[in-house]
Amino acid sequence: MLKLESVTKHYGSITALDQVSLDIARGEFFGLLGPNGAGKSTLMSLVAGLRSPDAGALSLDGATLSAQSAATRRDLGLVPQHIALYPRLTAEQNLRIFGGLQGLGGVLLRSRINEALQAVGLDDRRRDQVQTFSGGMQRRLNLAAAILHRPKVLLCDEPTVGVDPQSRNAIFEYLERLNDDGLTIIYSTHYMEEAARLCSRIGIIDHGKLLALGTLDELLTQLPFEEEIRFPATDKTAELASRLKDQGDVALVEQTHCFRPRAGFRLSSFYALTESHGLAPRLFATQRPSLEALFLHLTGRTLRE
Amino acid sequence: MHALLVLLRKDFTNFFHNKAAVLLTFFVPFAMIYVFGQVFGVTKTDGGPSGIPLAVVNDSKDPGALQLVNALKAEKTFSVITEFTPPQHASRALTETDLEPLMHDNKFRFAVVIPSDLVKADQLGVHLKIYSNPRNEIETQMVTGVLQKTIFSTVPQLLGQSLQSHARTSVGDQRLKHFNRSIAENIASTFGGNADDITRQIEQGNFAPASAALTGASPGTTLDKAPAAFSNLLTQLVQIETRQVSGQDVKSPAATRIVGGFAIQFLLFALSSSAAALFYERDRGIFQRILAGPVSRSQILWSKFLYGSALGLLQLVVLFVGGRLLYGIDIENHLGYLSLVCVVTAAACTAFGMVLASVASSMEAASGLATFVILLMCSVGGAWFPVSLMPHAIQQLSKLTIVYWAMEGFDQVLWMNASFHDLVPTLGILIAITVAVMFVAVWRFNRGNLFE
């Protein structure tokens, strides 16, 4: 449905996107995961037609996507990273403006506004100025404004930045419902938890290059280990962490040691080691490796760096 | 104390990292002082305006008339026009009938007619005509003052010569010489001085010694230093017929003269702020959202242009209605043409605001730049001070400003009661400015980062 072929974009001497190719199918919930400055927003802006690529091509259902292709862009909806709303206007007035710009009007626009406001839980605040809303409410309205015209593809550029957990969940649930109804969603984020929860397929991007692409399971198989053992980083566990380096990689992520064992590692030997250091089993958690681990594995640095 | 110093350093560091703030604080005032100095001619050593067009029609054969023309030509305030070139005809001397149409076309706003009866045979005195179009009060007062000074410093001698000539014809050369000599001796014996010098001056038509004697001044006092009583005497002898060519029927002359300047200033500030609001929408990501739909950059820009023009028009309507209610400015009799000028002026000012926004990188930079350029345009364009009184180079520069042409349009409609035909060039120039400036603005916006 949405196709990117060897798309390259430079800003002066900086290469924001380097020969990125992607093929996103109809109804997919595609996640674009990468740290800040990785090229996610550039990719989103190219798809949205806000910029033109220096090389390569983008198409939606076979039609070229570019800054000049206004008709094709009618099939897109963009949820910008910013809260792109007029704060002095009411929620309803904002939606009327953005719906009108998409060519909606009259009864159809009114019914779409009603639907959208109900869907994001803001129906009772429709006549309030947006500047009186909480950050989470503004984010929800920001999302509602992008789907009034029922686009084929919804581009969400880090739509939950600065959002409280309750509003974040509301946004996730709404997006999942939209996706269940058949809407194709491209969701850029630097939160691996969001990508893991929402996305059926994930592309990991860094320094403008698409490093890995696939479902969560497919991505995780690229790791040279199948599980990860986590334990708190304390004075007592420091020596253990040091000893474990002989048997795998040990990374320190937010006051937690993440031990990723090499092939042939035996769990019994691990517990023997912890016992010899007098460490209680409750300190250790064995879990499936995360996208964070994959990113670390692919780039040598964490997503939050 | 330490915290205070840190906070102080923080403010200075922030300030010097803000290029727009540094420019506004240091460069802009310096530039404004320089420009205002040029506009008001403070750098000139001789002072006063120069080169104001003054038409002079000389219908008199009296040699004194030529003397008056030469005196006007020698006055640096004026650029004397004595010839006229009708379309597809050879140049010829100006006539009195040429004056009103040419003044209506704003070729000049002041004219002196030296009629054939400059010196009347049947009565003592000099007859002159002054035509004026007092659309600018400061200019009119200044020109009238200089004109009177020139006339009154030339005419007395002219008058004296006339008297001598008249007397020579009547009583003969010998008797006149005797008469002059006896007057001179009387003056010399009563008030002092050399009788030969006084005789020579009287024969040249210079009656200053006689007048000085009459008013108690010492003999030999030059005319321009003569007491006020002498001037009053001359004023009674010089009959100046004045004729106002335009604006005679204007109901509220003072308010009508200034309304254009005020209107354009308000408009420029309001519409520049409005254009600078483009950055607000950019910074909030609103343009991203809009452009991700079936809307083009050009549509956004032209909608802003139309919005600004409509807002400007509305502001002008409010301003003129206010002028009508408060000061009685006559708008109802000029509604059609005034609306036309308002529309093109609002459009030109909007385009100006947009081009400023297109070259600025942020709302703050656009506002700072707008303040600087608007003050510059208002001073150079004549919103504060008559253009005709500015140095020649600044006068040429003023014609490149929207302020000049907008004020010209308002003056033409409200003061000159201009026809559509008269208005066309002014409207055309304002439209041309709008198109050119919008072209630059759209080009700059499409190349800049406003939509990214």
Q: What is the pLDDT of residue B41?
A: 66
Cα–Cα dist A223/B91, whole Å? 96
Q: Judge if B239 and B263 occupy the same domain.
A: no
Nearest-Cα distance to chain A for B286, in Å, is 5
Residues of A in contact with B447 (CB under 8 A): none
Q: What is the pLDDT of residue A178?
A: 93
Residues of B in contact with A86 (CB under 8 A): 286
Q: What is the pLDDT of residue B162?
A: 67
- Give me the residue from B283, B292, B294 closest to A50, CB to CB: B292
Could you tell me if residue B17 is inside a domain? no
Which of B201, B219, B244 is the last residue in one of the domains?
B244
Could you tell me if residue B27 is inside a domain? no
Q: How far is CA B396 from CA A26, B39, B382, B401, in A?
A: 65, 12, 12, 10
More confident call, A259 vs B216: A259
* DSSP reduced 3-state for A261: strand
Q: Judge if B240 and B258 occupy the same domain.
A: no
Could you tell me if residue B8 is inside a domain? no
Q: Judge if B194 and B294 occupy the same domain.
A: no
- Give me the residue from A71, A78, A155 closest to B294, CB to CB: A71
Could you tell me if residue B442 is inside a domain? yes
Which of B244, B272, B306 is the last residue in one of the domains?
B244
Q: Judge if B231 and B365 occupy the same domain.
A: no
Nearest-Cα distance to chain A for B315, in Å, is 22
Q: What is the pLDDT of residue A155?
A: 93
Q: How confident is the model at residue B124 (pLDDT cuts 50, 70, 90)?
A: low
Residues of B in contact with A83 (CB under 8 A): 284-285
Cα–Cα dist B61/B57, whole Å? 12
Residues of B in contact with A49 (CB under 8 A): 291-292
Residues of B in contact with A82 (CB under 8 A): 283-285, 288
Note the pLDDT tens digit of each residue in B29-61: 777 777 777 776 666 656 667 788 999 999 988
Of all residues in chain B, the one with the smallest CA distance to A68 is B296
Cα–Cα dist B292/A74, whole Å? 8
Q: Judge if B110 and B148 occupy the same domain.
A: yes
Q: What is the pLDDT of residue B216?
A: 45
Could you tell me if residue B15 is inside a domain? no
Q: Judge if B100 and B220 occupy the same domain.
A: yes
B87 CB-side CA count, 13 A = 1
Q: Dihedral through CA A270, CA A275, CA A277, CA A280, nearest 10?
A: 100
Note the pLDDT tens digit of each residue in A104-139: 999 999 999 999 999 999 999 999 999 999 988 999
Cβ neighbours of residue B169 closer than 8 Å, sequence gap 6 or more: none
Which residue in B199, B176, B177 sits closest to B187, CA to CA? Answer: B199
Which phi and psi (to 5°) does residue B302 adopt? -70, -30
Could you tell me if residue B45 is inside a domain? no
Nearest-Cα distance to chain A for B281, in Å, is 8
Q: Judge if B230 and B359 occupy the same domain.
A: no
Q: How confident is the model at residue B219 (pLDDT cuts 50, 70, 90)?
A: very low
Positions of chain A with pLDDT lower than 50, given as ranges: none
Give the least confident one: B35-39, B63-67, B428-432. B35-39
Cross-chain residue pair B292–A84, CB shorter than 8 Å: no
Q: Judge if B336 and B391 occupy the same domain.
A: yes
Q: How confident is the model at residue B323 (pLDDT cuts 50, 70, 90)?
A: confident
Of all residues in chain B, the one with the smallest CA distance to A75 is B293
- State the Rg of chain B over Cα: 30
Cα–Cα dist A49/A76, whole Å? 10
Q: What is the pLDDT of residue A302?
A: 67
Q: Which of B280, B287, B289 to mutate to test the interface with A (most CBs of A within 10 A)?
A: B289
Residue B202 DSSP one-character state: H
Provide, for chain A, the percentages of residues in helix, strand and coil under a 3-state DSSP scheme, each rounded to the nearest 5. Answer: 40, 25, 35
- Give me the residue from B283, B294, B451 closest to A50, CB to CB: B451
Per the prediction, chain A carries an average pLDDT of 87
Q: Judge if B270 and B327 occupy the same domain.
A: yes
Q: Judge if B435 and B306 occupy the same domain.
A: yes
Q: Judge if B77 and B194 occupy the same domain.
A: yes
Which of B244, B275, B302 is the last residue in one of the domains?
B244
CA angle at B252 for the pair B428 and B418, rounded to the nearest 5°: 25
Strand pairing of A228-232 and A285-287?
Answer: antiparallel
Highest mean pLDDT among B108-122, B228-242, B342-356: B342-356
Nearest-Cα distance to chain A for B346, in Å, is 26
Cα–Cα dist B2/A21, whole Å? 56
Cross-chain residue pair B284–A76, CB shorter than 8 Å: no
Q: Which ipTM was obtained for this model?
A: 0.81
Give pTM, 2 decimals.
0.73
Which whole number is the average pLDDT over B144-163? 75
Nearest-Cα distance to chain A for B274, in Å, is 15
Which phi and psi (to 5°) does residue A52 adopt? -110, 145
Instruction: Return the number of other C-beta atoms located less than 10 Å from residue B340's C-beta.
Output: 19
CA A159 to chain centre: 9
Residue span of the structural domain in which B437 resides: 253-447
Could you tell me if residue B168 is inside a domain? yes
b/e B111-122 (16+ beta carbons within 10 angstroms → b) = bbbbbeebbeee
- Give me the residue from A51, A74, A82 closest to B285, CB to CB: A82
Could you tell me if residue B229 is inside a domain? yes
Counting the structural domains of chain B, the total is 2
Q: Judge if B224 and B81 occupy the same domain.
A: yes
Contact criterion met (CB below 8 Å) for B257 and B405:
no
Which phi and psi (to 5°) does residue B84 adopt? -140, 135
Note the pLDDT tens digit of each residue in B392-409: 888 888 999 999 999 999
Residues of B in contact with A11 (CB under 8 A): none
